[in-house]
Structure 1
Amino acid sequence: MKKKLIKVHPSDNVAVALENLKEGETIDFDGEEIKILVDTKAKHKIALEGFDTESRIIMYGVLVGKANRKILKGEVLTINNVNHQSEKVIKKTATIGWESPNIEKWKNKTFLGYHREDGQVGTANVWLFFPLVFCENRNVEILKDVFEKELLNQKSNKHRLLLRSLIHGEEFNEKETESQRILDNVEVKFITHQAGCGGIRQDAESLAKLLAGYVNNPNVAGCTVLSLGCQNLQIQIFKDALEQINPNIKKPILIYEQQKMGTVDKMLEVIIKESFDAIKEANKIQRKPALLSKLKIGLECGGSDGFSGISANPVLGHVSDLLVALKGTAVLSEFPELCGVEQELVNRCVEEDKANKFLDLMKAFEKSVVDAGSGFDMNPSPGNIKDGLITDAMKSAGAAKKAGTSPIVDVLDYGEYIAKSGLNLLCTPGNDVESTTAMAGSGANIILFTTGLGTPTGNPVVPVIKVSSNTQLAEKMPDIIDFDAGSIIKGNSTIEEMGENLMELIVEVASGKIRTKAMQLHQNDFIPWRRGVSL
């Protein structure tokens, strides 16, 4: 008989509806009958016992909320009868052991990557253009137009051609949009942003660290940097940030300051000539085999639903555990979405000072949110709530499943670069693009992104693999989904089986044999986190 409810953890007092349930139907669950009291949509939670006001709601084995009124057994949990609640954590209380997964299949497996002089290995080979300040965005956009049209032999955008055909009454021919790359072993990408000046000096320094991290990322072969000259983020600040991350960096870095070069035309001519010469050299770099220990995988979720924490996120958790066992690296970010699971994460920290750093960063982050008149309890988006994630702690408990069960070897503040293999925590906002932007800046060379609702985003230097929590989404939005974990919900696959399958896809993407949907759609999103105010 097909299961209609699932309890994630033995101590949970709620269950997740695996399909739409009708008022009045009775379900045999764990040896007792649950009568559904109201129509309940799939992904939402059903009370497995009666709750009084202030009763603790337990899911994933942790406190995720409290009842704000009497809730009957079989009733659906909503934002109207449950409030956010999580356990308060003040220190590390234990050390959690870890049983690593079987890696016999993977220990000698390799991917084809770009080997850098500092020992890092890239999954892509990117020449990156970016400004130190928003004043140079227009010049970067001009360079983007020039290089993309010429290096890609880019023809008209298909939507522009569609409109042109409608205007002139002609037949639309999509083949006219096909492009052919001139250089086949290097990608040229462009970043723009709205920062670098006008804010507090700390924001300029933070942006410098982020951009330096992008330059040091193993997927980047070299870069062209545009500066105006008078901005807060001075060239020397950027150079100092790069020196701090990698004092012996050997990559070509071309820097141009407009206020020293005269006219825009003169500057652009110099940039185009010198950058093209450097890009041709980068194109000579070839892929070579590398062990999977050279992978640094960012773990991200966005547009989550009530299935994310029981399908897609645990699949990423299994991949994370496999990679850590192989001496590779995994990175979990989005600190607002770790609210409620701090104790487990603190106890998984190998070193007490890392546990304390995590707690200090969480407390400082939450204080800044409260000072702004909000709180972590307001983190779930309308889409999250509509699909069953009704409290921040409930969302967080599911989000944390992306990190598996391995020990935490390091805790990084925003802008800090990965220094240790193993599982790392990285302080970022819960905003999807701000988080993925930060993970690439900390050195991730692949990003796994789970979604239950559909989130169209990518990164300019790191391949982003989209993992769907449910099959309906994968079928509805096949243009953005790379991997469907929905068969877990149907009971057709296990988390471990899906994790192994996802690892196979990761190797193919890391080797350049498969381009992710985000890459095919040219989704190159970049949003720095501005922690300060504008002055």
Structure 2
Amino acid sequence: MRTTTDSEATPLAAAAASTDPIIRLHPDDDVVIARHQLVAGMCLGNGITVRGLVPPGHKVALRAVQSGAPVRRYGQIIGFATRPIESGEHVHTHNLAIGTFERDYAFGAGVRPTIHVQPPAQFQGIVRSNGRVATRNYIGILTSVNCSATAARAIADYFRRDVNPQALADYPNVDGVVALTHGQGCAIDANGEALEVLRRTIGGYARHSNFAAVLIVGLGCETNQIDGLMEAQGLAGSATLKTMMIQSSGGTSRTVAAGIDQVKAMLAEANQVRRQPVDASHLLVGLQCGGSDGYSGISANPALGTAVDRLVAHGGTAILSETPEIYGAEHLLTRRAVSQAVGEKLVARIRWWEAYCARMNASLDNNPSAGNKAGGLTTILEKSLGAVAKGGTTDLVDVYSYAGQVDAHGLVFMDTPGYDPVSATGQVAGGANLICFTTGRGSAYGCVPSPSLKLGTNTALWHRQQEDIDLNCGAVIDGTRTVEQMGEEIFQLMLATASGQKSKSELHGYGHNEFVPWQLGAIT
């Protein structure tokens, strides 16, 4: 067993000048990153000559590495050589693999107080009657079971501006009526974890600040009975929270007609909202990465981390998630845990995932995906070390179960799968009113009712898919922006988007199909 050392937990070094063909991140690294494609015979300095083609974002060996020896990037172990690696050689799946080693969790060793900015930054938010602050103003149609999904979508479709432009013509302050459906709710243990998680997720959406009002539609005979859902989640019917069931409403057509009437009755009140200046402490930002590449941990992720540090300094909250994608880097977070109890909660979730994968005859190294590997990421250890950079450098103040209601301020962690729609669904259920999503390969993700910002890791992606990407963090790779400068741009974009500025995914209408609660347990 190999053990990491405290000296390895070092912040990322600044990227090299844009004229340098490689980027070196830490003095202890065994590899550098290709800024653009490298070809055989290129001299990289210090007697290093490239051996063969190396794609952009991929790794090149700085020195010879023996078979079985650890390979470091970010000053951290990202895997072990599966055969001897020569200086200048491409380092990837053909000669590098995951291995076991002990992490020094050093609970709380890196804790340091946050210096809060006074006065805090502000954005134009929507203040609800209960004091919670929204960034958007939707009416939501939720479902207790997959059987009511068709009726829920039909209700929402009546109010689509592209289908029936007059339906919301008199309600300009309502962002839309959306149906968020799922494929669960029946054939599961009525007293089990699967139903508990589903109900926690639906309950989180039902009380979400970005919904002015909610209608929950069920079938009537499902395991996830609406009465049970309401009781379990402490919800009560009101003018802004209505429920109905197809079986007791007389069938699909009558349910849809009654649902439309219910929404119509909600619209006038929902339209009364006005935006007003509120402190950034009311921002709760979910952090996501998808379609990651070799540049993610150099540009977009650390830039987002810098923005998170700013958000926390202004009193706001950020949710880091995707537990399988911090695997191998969790020791960097436990060092920042405000207490040993918080750190141990995080480690407990890591152990759960190890056992879960073992039961399923799977490996946590099934992640990275094919696209991640094409972009230069070789092992989950390497991917995780870049992914945790999204969380910045402030203290880890708490760890939450999937879809748990986030009530802390600062950086928190929520246990979720790495699959983006499932992970972000949990974050929004926990209260996230904005999502920041880094991507290197490209993404077209949305997350109604919370706006989702796409942060590209490289300029080639920006040129290729600019209509879907909100900000090009590839400027860090190009040498035209520092991570700090990019972080400030992201923070200002957070504030503008929270104030009502539309994200690219909102302009394209994404987000209605990405409600995906985590499905656990047996289907019987």
Quote the Cα distance in structure 2 between the aligned partners of 1:266 and 1:248. 24
Q: Which residue of 1 aligns with 2:320?
A: 332
TM-score w.r.t. the length of structure 2 is 0.92
**In the alignment, does 2:207 pair up with 1:190?**
no
Render the CA deviation track for 1:171-228: whole Å, top value 9, x for unaligned.
xxxxxxxx98442111211111101112334222211100111122221111010011
Q: Which residue of 1 aligns with 2:198?
A: 207
Render the CA deviation track for 1:36-89: whole Å, top value 9, x for unaligned.
111111100111111111111111121110001100011111111001135434
Quote the Cα distance in structure 2 between the aligned partners of 1:484 and 1:181. 35
Q: 1:151–1:183: 8 Å Cα contact kept in structure 2? A: no
Quote the Cα distance in structure 1 between the aligned partners of 2:236 and 2:29. 52
Q: Which residue of 1 aligns with 2:13?
A: none
Quote the Cα distance in structure 1 between the aligned partners of 2:113 and 2:58. 32
Quote the Cα distance in structure 1 between the aligned partners of 2:117 and 2:385. 27
What are the equivalent positions in structure 2 for 1:58-457 lying under 5 Å apart? 58-85=72-99, 87-89=101-103, 92-98=106-112, 100=114, 103=117, 107-148=119-160, 153=165, 181-186=169-174, 187-201=176-190, 202-243=193-234, 252-457=240-445
In structure 2, relative to structure 1, the CA distance for the partners of 1:251 and 1:99 (3 Å cut) is: farther
Give the deviation of 1:353 after TM superposition: 1.4
Q: Which residue of 2 aligns with 1:176?
A: none
Quote the Cα distance in structure 1 between the aligned partners of 2:223 and 2:54. 54
Which of 22, 43, 46 aligns to 2:60? It is 46
Give the deviation of 1:145 after TM superposition: 2.1
Q: Which residue of 2 aligns with 1:164?
A: none
In structure 2, relative to structure 1, the CA distance for the partners of 1:241 and 1:469 (3 Å cut) is: farther
Quote the Cα distance in structure 1 between the aligned partners of 2:177 and 2:262. 14
Q: Which residue of 2 aligns with 1:7?
A: 24
What are the equivalent positions in structure 2 for 1:518-533 lying under 5 Å apart? 518-524=505-511, 525-533=514-522
Quote the Cα distance in structure 1 between the aligned partners of 2:495 and 2:505. 17
Quote the Cα distance in structure 2 between the aligned partners of 1:101 and 1:83. 41
TM-score w.r.t. the length of structure 1 is 0.90
SS at structure 1 position matched to 2:388: helix
Quote the Cα distance in structure 2 between the aligned partners of 1:117 and 1:180. 23
Q: What amino acid does structure 1 have at the position aligned with 2:112? A: W
What's the RMSD between the two structures over aligned residues? 2.0
Q: 2:107–2:336: 8 Å Cα contact kept in structure 1? A: no
Give the deviation of 1:372 after TM superposition: 0.9
Q: Which moved more, 1:391-400 or 1:252-261?
A: 252-261
SS at structure 2 position matched to 1:57: strand
Quote the Cα distance in structure 2 between the aligned partners of 1:266 and 1:490. 59
Q: Which residue of 2 aligns with 1:35?
A: 49
Q: What amino acid does structure 2 have at the position aligned with 1:265? A: S
Q: 1:54–1:69: 8 Å Cα contact kept in structure 2? A: yes
Q: 2:436–2:455: 8 Å Cα contact kept in structure 1? A: yes
Give the deviation of 1:269 after TM superposition: 2.5
In structure 2, relative to structure 1, the CA distance for the partners of 1:438 and 1:94 (3 Å cut) is: closer
Quote the Cα distance in structure 2 between the aligned partners of 1:108 and 1:126. 27
In structure 2, relative to structure 1, the CA distance for the partners of 1:333 and 1:270 (3 Å cut) is: same
Kindly tell me the number of residue pairs found equivalent between the two proteins. Answer: 502
Q: 1:361–1:413: 8 Å Cα contact kept in structure 2? A: no
Render the CA deviation track for 1:382-425: whole Å, top value 9, x for unaligned.
11001100100000100110001110001011121101011010
Quote the Cα distance in structure 2 between the aligned partners of 1:462 and 1:19. 35
Identity %: 32
Q: Which residue of 2 aligns with 1:17?
A: 34
Q: What amino acid does structure 2 have at the position aligned with 1:140? A: A
Q: 2:120–2:314: 8 Å Cα contact kept in structure 1? A: no
SS at structure 2 position matched to 1:148: coil
Quote the Cα distance in structure 2 between the aligned partners of 1:351 and 1:69. 41
In structure 2, relative to structure 1, the CA distance for the partners of 1:248 and 1:357 (3 Å cut) is: farther
In structure 1, stretches of 5+ residues that fail to align are 155-178
SS at structure 2 position matched to 1:147: coil
Give the deviation of 1:266 after TM superposition: 2.7
Quote the Cα distance in structure 1 between the aligned partners of 2:393 and 2:437. 18
Quote the Cα distance in structure 2 between the aligned partners of 1:181 and 1:39. 58
SS at structure 1 position matched to 2:158: helix
Q: Which moved more, 1:271-280 or 1:331-340?
A: 271-280
Give the deviation of 1:526 after TM superposition: 1.1
Q: What amino acid does structure 2 have at the position aligned with 1:239? A: M
Q: 1:101–1:322: 8 Å Cα contact kept in structure 2? A: no
Q: 2:317–2:411: 8 Å Cα contact kept in structure 1? A: yes
In structure 2, relative to structure 1, the CA distance for the partners of 1:91 and 1:58 (3 Å cut) is: closer
In structure 2, relative to structure 1, the CA distance for the partners of 1:94 and 1:515 (3 Å cut) is: closer
Quote the Cα distance in structure 2 between the aligned partners of 1:125 and 1:100. 32
Give the deviation of 1:324 after TM superposition: 0.9
Quote the Cα distance in structure 2 between the aligned partners of 1:146 and 1:251. 20
Give the deviation of 1:124 after TM superposition: 0.4
Render the CA deviation track for 1:233-280: whole Å, top value 9, x for unaligned.
11133213432xxx7998710000222222333332222212211122
Quote the Cα distance in structure 2 between the aligned partners of 1:256 and 1:204. 20
SS at structure 1 position matched to 2:404: coil
In structure 2, relative to structure 1, the CA distance for the partners of 1:25 and 1:224 (3 Å cut) is: same
Q: What amino acid does structure 2 have at the position aligned with 1:521? A: H
Q: 1:205–1:233: 8 Å Cα contact kept in structure 2? A: no
In structure 2, relative to structure 1, the CA distance for the partners of 1:461 and 1:182 (3 Å cut) is: same
In structure 2, relative to structure 1, the CA distance for the partners of 1:268 and 1:150 (3 Å cut) is: farther
SS at structure 2 position matched to 1:256: strand
Q: Which moved more, 1:498-507 or 1:81-90?
A: 81-90
Q: 1:95–1:350: 8 Å Cα contact kept in structure 2? A: no
Give the deviation of 1:323 after TM superposition: 0.8
Give the deviation of 1:117 after TM superposition: 2.9
Quote the Cα distance in structure 1 between the aligned partners of 2:162 and 2:63. 65
Quote the Cα distance in structure 2 between the aligned partners of 1:133 and 1:68. 48
Q: 1:101–1:321: 8 Å Cα contact kept in structure 2? A: no
Q: What amino acid does structure 1 have at the position aligned with 2:225? A: Q
Which of 494, 515, 520 aligns to 2:482? It is 494
Render the CA deviation track for 1:443-495: whole Å, top value 9, x for unaligned.
00110000001111101200000000011111111121011101100111101
In structure 2, relative to structure 1, the CA distance for the partners of 1:378 and 1:362 (3 Å cut) is: same
Give the deviation of 1:509 after TM superposition: 0.9
In structure 2, stretches of 5+ residues that fail to align are 1-16
SS at structure 1 position matched to 2:33: strand
In structure 2, relative to structure 1, the CA distance for the partners of 1:65 and 1:516 (3 Å cut) is: same
Q: Which residue of 2 aligns with 1:26?
A: 43
Q: Which moved more, 1:435-444 or 1:32-41?
A: 32-41
Give the deviation of 1:99 after TM superposition: 7.0
Quote the Cα distance in structure 2 between the aligned partners of 1:142 and 1:6. 52
